[in-house]
Chains A and B, each alone.
Chain A
Amino acid sequence: MSDEVYGRVVDGDTGQPVEDASVAIVGGPGPAPDIAALTDADGRFALSGLGPGRWSVRVHGPDGSEGEVEVMLPRRYEVEIAVHTEMSTPEQD
């Protein structure tokens, strides 16, 4: 039996959906297919072929933003993952 992580990726600052973000499983109770989902224009994705348990899902946005959540399967509602871009300025003496 296979379960699925499905959901939506949004920009953590604006709340807007992020298209073309890569979503992949990075940890869990067992093996996972090493395929990555690409979000659509609504930020939606689905990753299937998973068993029950707690899975770590990581997102990489096309602009370098990142986000990660843990999802317990089976799950009957979509997960929302917010991505953030790290920003910093160099230290000035």
Chain B
Amino acid sequence: MNDDEFVDTITADPPSSGGATQQSRKRNAASAPALPKTLQAPLDESLETSEVEGDAVGFETGMEAVGLHDEVSAELGAEGGEEFAEASYAQLAMGETGEESAVSDLESVEGFERIEAGEGESGPTGSASEALPDAGAALREGGAETQQEEFLPFLAALVPTLASSVGPVVAKGVMSRLKPRTRKLIKNRLKQSKPGAAAAGVGSVLDTLIKLLGSRENEPVNESVGEVDQALVEQAATAMEVIIGKDDRVRLTNTTAVPWRRVCALRITFPSGKTYRGTGFFIGKRVLATAGHCVYLHDQGGWARRVEVIPGMNGASKPYGSAFAVSLRSVGGWVQGRKPESDYGCIVLPPNAFSGKNLGWFGLGVFSNVVLLAKTAVLAGYPGDKPFAELWGMARKIKAATPKTLVYDIDTMGGQSGSGVYIKHNGQRKVVGIHNYGALSGNSATRVTKPVFERLVAWSKL
């Protein structure tokens, strides 16, 4: 049976309410008999729900009604025959015009740098939004000049070491110590480098180092080589991080403002006794969407035993307090099928959570590849390389799409599972994916497709 025909809802109530697990199975509207033409929406129409602001600063109530747009026809569906689609170099390089971009949410944040059209984005072989500065440019930047000048002679002296018989050992050691983003930058730079082309001046040192690191890391280690000075390896890795590894994430501290107050830190405990940290975001007044593995982990006893939800958490501050889930939901594709593309779920909170304040919620949207590819998306969540719990965000264009997933070069870390990936469409924030996996080739989200959309909308009304 085709899993796409059915959208399963599997629910679990926490042990305090008896721990009952129920399963219902509902036939997907996509497989229903075709609607009469008069009831069919135009093929190009998308599915969306409205973004809801929530209470104003004075916590005045006044919710807007939420409604669905018309359904798309059965023939239109991300699952229907589309394969892997990738944004072209031209698309990635183009600036966004005509409507406000989601990146505007980050532009006022300290430390944020916008990548202008034509620079910083490259084609499918790698993202030059991850572009490496040449060493000369790095030296011209203010603030870190002295430190970078100090490291460069050391790195230049490292070149003959990497070229020698101990090169593979040193290269493996240095690469293993680099942060994931720095490693990715180096690998992307290697893919983009053209044979014979050499940077001028000090940039040539960095280029040479990158080529040697990349090539020697994959060579077998010569058993006759003696031990390598680990201090040298550590210093080399530190130097590379200083010169290359710029972190494009920005910390979001105004977490009581829209939209950040809708993003929640999660502290999750499973029956195994193990505890995890994740992220969720409001899709209804008392309902969050998150990754399926934030509510159900197959190897840790299944359904989470306890989920603490902290909206807008900012360091140690919990501006709205915290609440514990009363119900968890997911879908059969995750709970039974363990499919990454079905790795999403929801958390239901008690009606009196957060003293009844309405924090608002994100809109949801199903869009075609034409709309999504090379569209700037924002992902904000609680990464595990920062203290619990700091909210960090980043914006990048969606670089690829499959029928059920979206792929992007937004930097993420463990702890950000469950973050919403949102764009701006007609001025409203629409979540188009639920982030759940990290990979060197590109981080990914469950794409909000028609069945996912319908499931999320149903949950949002709980």
Interface, chain A (partner B; CB < 8 A): 2, 4, 20, 22-27, 30-38, 40, 44-49, 56, 58, 60, 62, 64, 68, 70
Whether, in the assembled complex, B276 has its beta carbon less than 8 Å from a beta carbon of chain A, the answer is yes
Whether, in the assembled complex, B440 has its beta carbon less than 8 Å from a beta carbon of chain A, the answer is yes
Give Cα A60 to B414, complex, Å.
11
Within 8 Å by CB of A34, from B177, B275, B300, B435, lies B435
- Is B412 a contact of A31 with CB atoms below 8 Å? no
Q: A34-B436, A36-B277, A36-B413 are in contact. List 14 more A-B contacts (CB 8 A).
A: A2-B298, A2-B338, A23-B384, A24-B413, A27-B440, A34-B435, A35-B417, A36-B414, A47-B414, A48-B298, A49-B298, A49-B299, A64-B387, A68-B177
- Is B183 a contact of A34 with CB atoms below 8 Å? no
* A to B contact number (C-beta, < 8 Å): 114
**A40 CB contacts on chain B under 8 angstroms:** 273-275
**B343 CB contacts on chain A under 8 angstroms:** 33
- Is A31 a contact of B437 with CB atoms below 8 Å? yes
Interface centre among A2, A27, A34, A38 (most CB of B within 10 A): A34
> Quick one: closest A residue to B442, CB to CB?
A31
Can you list 5 pairs linking A and B with CB atoms under 8 Å apart?
A32-B439, A34-B443, A37-B275, A49-B299, A56-B176
**A46 CB contacts on chain B under 8 angstroms:** 272, 274, 299-300
Whether, in the assembled complex, B294 has its beta carbon less than 8 Å from a beta carbon of chain A, the answer is yes
Known contacts: A2-B298, A34-B416, A36-B277. The answer to whether A26 contacts B180 by CB under 8 A is yes
Residues of B within 8 A of A (CB-CB), count: 43
Known contacts: A2-B299, A49-B299. The answer to whether A24 contacts B439 by CB under 8 A is no
- Is A34 a contact of B413 with CB atoms below 8 Å? yes
**B274 CB contacts on chain A under 8 angstroms:** 37, 40, 44-46
**B183 CB contacts on chain A under 8 angstroms:** 27
**B384 CB contacts on chain A under 8 angstroms:** 22-24, 36, 60
| Mask: chain B, 436-462; 1 = CB below 8 Å from A; 0 = not | 111110011000000000000000000
**A22 CB contacts on chain B under 8 angstroms:** 277, 384-385, 388, 414-415
**A31 CB contacts on chain B under 8 angstroms:** 340, 437-439, 444
Whether, in the assembled complex, B311 has its beta carbon less than 8 Å from a beta carbon of chain A, the answer is no
**B332 CB contacts on chain A under 8 angstroms:** none
Known contacts: A34-B416, A35-B294, A58-B385. The answer to whether A25 contacts B438 by CB under 8 A is yes
Give Cα A2 to B298, complex, Å.
9
Distance to closest chain B CB from A6 (angstroms): 9
> Quick one: closest B residue to A64, CB to CB?
B387
Distance to closest chain B CB from A38 (angstroms): 4
Ranked nearest first, the 3 interchain pairs of A and B with the lowest CB-CB distance are A24-B414, A36-B384, A36-B414
Distance to closest chain A CB from B162 (angstroms): 20
- Is B275 a contact of A33 with CB atoms below 8 Å? no
Distance to closest chain A CB from B35 (angstroms): 37
> Quick one: closest A residue to B272, CB to CB?
A46
Interface centre among B384, B412, B438 (most CB of A within 10 A): B384
**B415 CB contacts on chain A under 8 angstroms:** 22, 24, 34-36
Give Cα A17 to B299, complex, Å.
24
Known contacts: A34-B437, A36-B276, A40-B274. The answer to whether A70 contacts B414 by CB under 8 A is no
Distance to closest chain B CB from A53 (angstroms): 12
- Is B340 a contact of A35 with CB atoms below 8 Å? no
Known contacts: A2-B298, A40-B275, A60-B385. The answer to whether A26 contacts B439 by CB under 8 A is no
Give Cα A60 to B267, complex, Å.
16
Within 8 Å by CB of A37, from B276, B437, B438, B443, lies B276
Interface centre among B291, B412, B415 (most CB of A within 10 A): B415
> Quick one: closest B residue to A39, CB to CB?
B275
Distance to closest chain A CB from B347 (angstroms): 14
Give Cα A45 to B343, complex, Å.
22
Give Cα A26 to B182, complex, Å.
11
Question: Which residues of chain B from 384 to 414 have any CB-CB distance to chain A below 8 Å in the complex?
Answer: 384-388, 412-414
**A38 CB contacts on chain B under 8 angstroms:** 267, 275-277, 388
> Quick one: closest B residue to A30, CB to CB?
B439
**B417 CB contacts on chain A under 8 angstroms:** 33-35
Whether, in the assembled complex, B94 has its beta carbon less than 8 Å from a beta carbon of chain A, the answer is no
Give Cα A30 to B439, complex, Å.
6
Give Cα A27 to B414, complex, Å.
11
Question: Which residues of chain B from 244 to 296 have any CB-CB distance to chain A below 8 Å in the complex?
Answer: 267, 272-278, 291, 293-294
| Mask: chain B, 121-151; 1 = CB below 8 Å from A; 0 = not | 0000000000000000000000000000000
- Is A62 a contact of B387 with CB atoms below 8 Å? yes
Distance to closest chain B CB from A88 (angstroms): 12
- Is B436 a contact of A33 with CB atoms below 8 Å? yes
- Is A20 a contact of B388 with CB atoms below 8 Å? yes
**A64 CB contacts on chain B under 8 angstroms:** 387
- Is A48 a contact of B414 with CB atoms below 8 Å? no
